[in-house]
C-alpha cells in the first residue's frame, strides 16, 4: 500500500479547502446568477442557505472524512459496514470526474482569455470572439493545457503540491480581488450597481421566491463543493487535534467572502458601463465583462489582472477535484500517486475533449447533471451522518474542540432532519424538471417531508432488526 500523505499544517488544510471551494463557482457562476436573479434578493437567500444548509453539510462531510481516514469508497464502506457504502463512494468519485470534465473546459477558456487580455484580442467583438473559441479544436487544446497545470500540482502530492500552491494562490486571489473592488468603486456610474447588489428588495423576493431559491441553493452546494466527496477527501488527511467546527466556519465564511467580493467587482462594473447585468448567462464573465473592459482606460491591464485571478481560483478548485479520484487509486488500489495522476488525467483528457467539442452536451453536463449528482451525494452524506453514525459523528465533531460543544446536538439534529428534507426538496425539483412535470411548492414540500420520514422509518427498522438479531 502506498504511503499516505498529510497536511503539513492546519492552516494549509484551511487554505486548500477554501481554494478548493472558492473557484469558478464564486467568480464565474456567482456574479451572473446574482445578476440574473434579482441581485440583492438572490444574495440574501444565498447567504441564508449557506448558513442553514451549507455550514452543517460541510461539517458533516468533514466528519465523514476524518472519521473514515480514507477516500470516499473505502471510508464510506468502513463507516456504513455495507457494500453500498463502496458504491456511494464510487458515485462520489464519478461526480468529481464529471465536474472536472467540464470544469477544465471552462478553465481552458479562462487560460486563453488571460493570455490574450494584454493585447485586448476580444475587445472589438467580444460576443463573436467567445463564440469562436468556446468550442472546437482550440477549446480542446486549452482544456488539455489547463488540465496539465492542475495535474502537475496534484502529481507532487498533498503537502508538496496542493498545500504549497494553495498557500500562494489563495491569498493572491483575495488581494487582487480587493484591489479590483477598490478600483471599481472609483469608476463613474457604479452607484446603481451597488444598489442592485446590496439594497434588499423584499418585493422582488416575495414575487419571485420560487425562482430564486433553486439557483441560490444550487450555488451554495456548488461553491462549497458539497456532495462530491472532495471535502471528505481533504478532511481524511487531518489529525484529531484539528477543530472541525472551527475550520468549517472559517472555510465557509472565507469562501462566501470571496464570492461576495467577486460580485462587488463584476456587478458595479457592468452597471458603470451600462451593460445589462443579466446578459449572457454563463458567458457573462467573458462577453459582458469584455464589453466593459474594452471601454475602460487601461482596460487591457484590468482585464489581465481579472482573468489571472479567475485562473488562479480555477486551478485551486481543479486540484481539489482531481485529488479525489487520484487519492482513491492510491488508497484503495495501492497505485503510486504519480502513476494515478497520469491515469486519471488521461481519462479526463478524453472526456473533457468530448465536452469541448459539443455545446449541447456541455450545457447539460455542467448544469442539470452536475446539480443532480451533487444533490444526491449530499443527501446520502446527511443520511449516513444523521441516521447511521450519530454517536460516532458526535464524537468526531467534539474531537479537537471544547468551544463548540454546545453546537454538537443541534448540528446533528439539523443534519439528520432539516438537511434531508431541504436536499430532497431540491432533488425533487430537478427530477420533475427532467421529467417535464410541474410541481408547486406544496407538492415538492410534501414529497420531501414524506420521503424523509419514510426513509428514516425504514432505516430505523433495519437497525432495530440488526440489534435484536445480535442478541
Would you list the domain boundaries of the chain?
Answer: 10-360
Confidence band (pLDDT; 50, 70, 90) for 464?
low
- Asked if the model's pLDDT at residue 339 lies above 90, the reply is yes
pLDDT at 435 over 90: no
pLDDT band at residue 97 under the 50/70/90 scheme? very high
CB of 305 within 8 A of CB of 148?
no
Is residue 317 over pLDDT 90? no
Q: Considering only the top CATH level, what class is 10-360?
A: mainly alpha
Show Cβ contacts of residue 84 under 8 Å, excluding neighbours closer than 6 positions. none
For 1, 144, 180, the CA distances from 89, given in Å and listed in that order, are 19, 27, 40
Give pLDDT, residue 465.
66
> Is the model's pLDDT at 431 over the cut of 70?
yes
Between 141 and 290, the higher pLDDT residue: 141
Work out the burial of residue 197: count CB atoms within 10 Å of its CB; fewer than 13 is exposed, 13-18 middle, 19 or more buried: buried
pLDDT tens track for 399-424? 988 788 899 999 999 999 999 998 89
Measured CA to CA, the distance from residue 419 to residue 449 in angstroms comes to 11
Q: Is the pLDDT of residue 470 over 70?
A: no
Give residue 160's pLDDT.
65
Give residue 456's pLDDT: 84
229 pLDDT exceeds 50?
yes
Inter-CA distances, 217 with 47, 50, 183, 245, 358, Å: 9, 8, 31, 21, 28
Q: In terms of DSSP H, where are the helices of 243-369? A: 244-272, 288-295, 299-333, 337-357, 359-364
In percent, the amount of the chain with pLDDT more than 90 equals 38
Number of neighbours of residue 423 by Cβ within 10 angstroms = 28
pLDDT tens for each residue of 105-136: 999 999 999 999 999 888 888 888 988 999 99
Q: Which residue has the higher pLDDT, 313 or 145?
A: 145
Q: Which residues contact 383 (CB under 8 A, 6 or more apart)?
A: 420, 455, 459
Least trusted range by pLDDT, from 64-73, 372-381, 428-437: 428-437
Structure confidence by residue, pLDDT tens digits, 8-32: 677 877 777 777 666 777 877 788 7
What pLDDT sits at residue 415? 94
- C-alpha–C-alpha distance, residues 254 and 298, integer Å: 30
Spatial separation of the C-alpha atoms in residues 378 and 385, rounded to whole Å: 11
pLDDT (tens digit, 9 = 90+) per residue, 179-227? 889 988 988 889 999 999 999 888 888 888 877 887 888 788 888 888 8
Q: pLDDT band at 277, cuts 50/70/90?
A: low
pLDDT score of 1 more than 50 = no
Range with lowest mean pLDDT among 203-217, 323-337, 351-365: 203-217
First to last CA, the chain: 37
Dihedral sign, Cα of residue 76, residue 346, residue 231, residue 30:
negative
pLDDT band at 232 (very low <50, low <70, confident <90, very high): very high
How does the average pLDDT of the chain come out, rounded? 86
Each residue of 126-151: b (16+ CB within 10 Å) or e?
A: bbebbeebbbeeebbebbbebbebbb
Rounded Cα gap, residues 210 and 179, in angstroms: 36
Q: What percent of the residues of the chain are helix, what percent strand, and what percent coil, each to the nearest 5?
A: 80, 0, 20
Amino acid at each position: 500500500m502506498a504511503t499516505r500523505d498529510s497536511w503539513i499544517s492546519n492552516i494549509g488544510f484551511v487554505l486548500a479547502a477554501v481554494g478548493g471551494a472558492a473557484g469558478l463557482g464564486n467568480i464565474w457562476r456567482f456574479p451572473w446568477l446574482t445578476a440574473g436573479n434579482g441581485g440583492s434578493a438572490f444574495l440574501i437567500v444565498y447567504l441564508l442557505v449557506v448558513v442553514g444548509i451549507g455550514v452543517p453539510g460541510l461539517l458533516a462531510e468533514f466528519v465523514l472524512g476524518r472519521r473514515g481516514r480514507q477516500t470516499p469508497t473505502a471510508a464510506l464502506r468502513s463507516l456504513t459496514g455495507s457494500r453500498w457504502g463502496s458504491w456511494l463512494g464510487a458515485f462520489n468519485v464519478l461526480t468529481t470526474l464529471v465536474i472536472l470534465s467540464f470544469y477544465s473546459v471552462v478553465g481552458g477558456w479562462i487560460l486563453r482569455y488571460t493570455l490574450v487580455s494584454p493585447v485586448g484580442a476580444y475587445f472589438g467583438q467580444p460576443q463573436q470572439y467567445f463564440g469562436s473559441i468556446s468550442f472546437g479544436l482550440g477549446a480542446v487544446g486549452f482544456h488539455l493545457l489547463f488540465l496539465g497545470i492542475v495535474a502537475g500540482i496534484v502529481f507532487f502530492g498533498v503537502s508538496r503540491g496542493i498545500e504549497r500552491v494553495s498557500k500562494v494562490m489563495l491569498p493572491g486571489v483575495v488581494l487582487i480581488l480587493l484591489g479590483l473592488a477598490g478600483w471599481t468603486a472609483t469608476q463613474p456610474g457604479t452607484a446603481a450597481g451597488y444598489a442592485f447588489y446590496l439594497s434588499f428588495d423584499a418585493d422582488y423576493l416575495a414575487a419571485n421566491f420560487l425562482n430564486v431559491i433553486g439557483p441560490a441553493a444550487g450555488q451554495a452546494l456548488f461553491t462549497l463543493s458539497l456532495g462530491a466527496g472532495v471535502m471528505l477527501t481533504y478532511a481524511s488527511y487531518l489529525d484529531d487535534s484539528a477543530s472541525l467546527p472551527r475550520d468549517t466556519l472559517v472555510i465557509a465564511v472565507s469562501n462566501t467572502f470571496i464570492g461576495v467580493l467577486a460580485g462587488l467587482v463584476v456587478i458595479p462594473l457592468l452597471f458603470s458601463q451600462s451593460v445589462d447585468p443579466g446578459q449572457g448567462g454563463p458567458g457573462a464573465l467573458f462577453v459582458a465583462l469584455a464589453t466593459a473592459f474594452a471601454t475602460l482606460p487601461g482596460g487591457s491591464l484590468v482585464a489581465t489582472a481579472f482573468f489571472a485571478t479567475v485562473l488562479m481560483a480555477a486551478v485551486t478548485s481543479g486540484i481539489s477535484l482531481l485529488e479525489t479520484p487520484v487519492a482513491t487509486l492510491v488508497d484503495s488500489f495501492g497505485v503510486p500517486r504519480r502513476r494515478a495522476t497520469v491515469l486519471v488525467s488521461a481519462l479526463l483528457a478524453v472526456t473533457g475533449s468530448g465536452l469541448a467539442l459539443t455545446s449541447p452536451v456541455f450545457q447539460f453536463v455542467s448544469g442539470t447533471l452536475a446539480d443532480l449528482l451533487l444533490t444526491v451525494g449530499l443527501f446520502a452524506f446527511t443520511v449516513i451522518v444523521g441516521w447511521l453514525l450519530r454517536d460516532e459523528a458526535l464524537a468526531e465533531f467534539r474531537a479537537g474542540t471544547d468551544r463548540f460543544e454546545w453546537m454538537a446536538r443541534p448540528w446533528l439534529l439539523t443534519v439528520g432532519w432539516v438537511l434531508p428534507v431541504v436536499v430532497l426538496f431540491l432533488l425533487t425539483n430537478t427530477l420533475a424538471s427532467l421529467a417535464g412535470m410541474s410541481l408547486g411548492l406544496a407538492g415538492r414540500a410534501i414529497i420531501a417531508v414524506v420521503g424523509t420520514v419514510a426513509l428514516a422509518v425504514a432505516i430505523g427498522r433495519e437497525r432495530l432488526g440488526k440489534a435484536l438479531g445480535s442478541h
